């Protein structure tokens, strides 16, 4: 499977409940305990090639902890993670090399480096120049450096930051910083990209652009797993959705199945961390459902 990012016009939702590709990422019985607290409990998740998977759940449900287990930031107390048929050790560097990249809920860029340099850093896991080559700066080093720069430039254009390459990351608007994080993740040539709240803090226009970008990532042959609180975003973006509640998998399935499941709505309304009114939550979680019913779909 190619993970090259080509310049293509905006991607489209597949419209299919599941692309039916081969299994790419498989988490089995993943459990993470912090002392007496079980943040993630026996969670299974399967992601297929070319699939966009959504991960939802109220605050504290264990979504980010589950991501941290998948990406080697945490060593799960129990369970295993298999990527492209190979069990991956819980070491972030190895996980990236095996083809899984991620972004973070709280943006983690190198603020004093340019946008281009930030993406180039992501690329270095795919270059072969060792310390000696870097000191000597011979032809091999210079060729890799040039290729890394070109690839970083290409990726910045892909995410819509082609005009901001020389700006310091810390000076970019918030939405652009999130896109820069995605470009840096793509620079590692991943098979699957994990995005932790990619639209947090974005305005509606930026959210729409983020959705279009994720479709294009999928169209370029990568699978995507997305954590989001924006239900409208998740249900229009994803092929399948997994809802976690108190660390456990509550419901998994097509967006239409998950959004109409009373347990999901109950989980959100029943969450002490959510302070919206029931009416607002109903609009957020169930609006597409009501629209579908009214239109007789």
Ligand X SMILES: Nc1ncnc2c1ncn2[C@@H]1O[C@H](COP(=O)(O)OP(=O)(O)OP(=O)(O)O)[C@@H](O)[C@H]1O
Residues that bind ligand X (CB under 6 A): 34, 37, 39, 57, 59-65, 105
The least CB distance from residue 36 to ligand X, in Å, is 10
**In the chain, how many H helices and how many E strands?**
11, 10
**Strand ranges, E, within 49-191:** 52-56, 78-83, 86-87, 100-102
Looking at the Cβ atoms of 13 and 60, the one nearer to ligand X is 60
Q: How far is the CB of 108 from ligand X (least distance, A)?
A: 15
Q: Which is nearer to ligand X, 58 or 175 (CB)?
A: 58
Nearer to ligand X, 62 or 99 (CB): 62
Placement of tokens 């229009």 in the chain:
236
CA-CA distance, 139 to 43, in Å (whole number)?
A: 48
Query: Torsions phi, psi of 284, nearest 5?
Result: -70, -50
Q: Provide, rounded to whole angstroms, the least separation between the CB of residue 62 and ligand X.
A: 4
Min CB(284)–ligand X separation in Å: 15
- CA atoms within 13 A of residue 136's CA, in its CB half-sphere: 9
Nearer to ligand X, 124 or 174 (CB): 174
Structure tokens at 60: 């504290």
10: CB partners within 8 A, 6+ apart: 212, 215, 216
* Nearest CB to ligand X, comparing residues 39 and 193: 39
User: Rounded to the nearest whole angstrom, what is the least distance from the CB of residue 273 to ligand X in the complex?
Assistant: 7
Do strands 78-83 and 86-87 pair parallel, antiparallel, or not at all (unpaired)? antiparallel
């Amino acid at each position: 499977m190619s993970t090259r990012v080509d310049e293509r016009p905006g991607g489209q939702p597949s419209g299919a409940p599941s692309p039916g590709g081969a299994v790419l990422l498989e988490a089995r019985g993943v459990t993470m305990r912090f002392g007496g607290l079980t943040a993630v409990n026996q969670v299974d998740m399967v992601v297929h090639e070319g699939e966009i998977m959504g991960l939802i759940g109220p605050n504290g449900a264990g979504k980010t902890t589950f991501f941290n287990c998948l990406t080697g930031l945490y060593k799960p107390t129990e369970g295993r993670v298999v990527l492209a048929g190979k069990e991956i050790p819980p070491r972030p560097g190895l996980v990236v090399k095996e083809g899984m990249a991620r972004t973070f809920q709280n943006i983690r860029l190198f603020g004093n480096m340019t946008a281009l340099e930030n993406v180039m850093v992501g690329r270095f896991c795919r270059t072969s120049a060792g310390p000696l080559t870097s000191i000597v700066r011979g032809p091999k080093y210079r060729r890799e450096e040039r290729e890394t720069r070109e690839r970083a430039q290409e990726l910045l254009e892909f995410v819509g930051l082609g005009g901001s390459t020389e700006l310091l990351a810390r000076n970019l608007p918030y939405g652009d910083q999130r896109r820069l994080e995605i470009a840096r993740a793509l620079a590692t040539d991943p098979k699957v990209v994990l995005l932790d709240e990619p639209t947090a803090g974005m305005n509606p226009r930026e959210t729409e652009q983020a959705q279009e970008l994720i479709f294009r990532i999928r169209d370029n042959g990568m699978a995507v797993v997305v954590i989001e609180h924006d239900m409208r975003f998740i249900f229009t973006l994803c092929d399948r959705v997994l809802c976690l509640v108190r660390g456990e998998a509550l419901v998994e399935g097509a967006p239409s199945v998950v959004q109409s499941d009373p347990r999901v709505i109950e989980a959100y309304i029943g969450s002490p961390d959510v302070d919206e009114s029931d009416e607002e939550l109903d609009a957020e979680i169930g609006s597409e459902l009501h629209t579908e019913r009214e239109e007789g779909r």
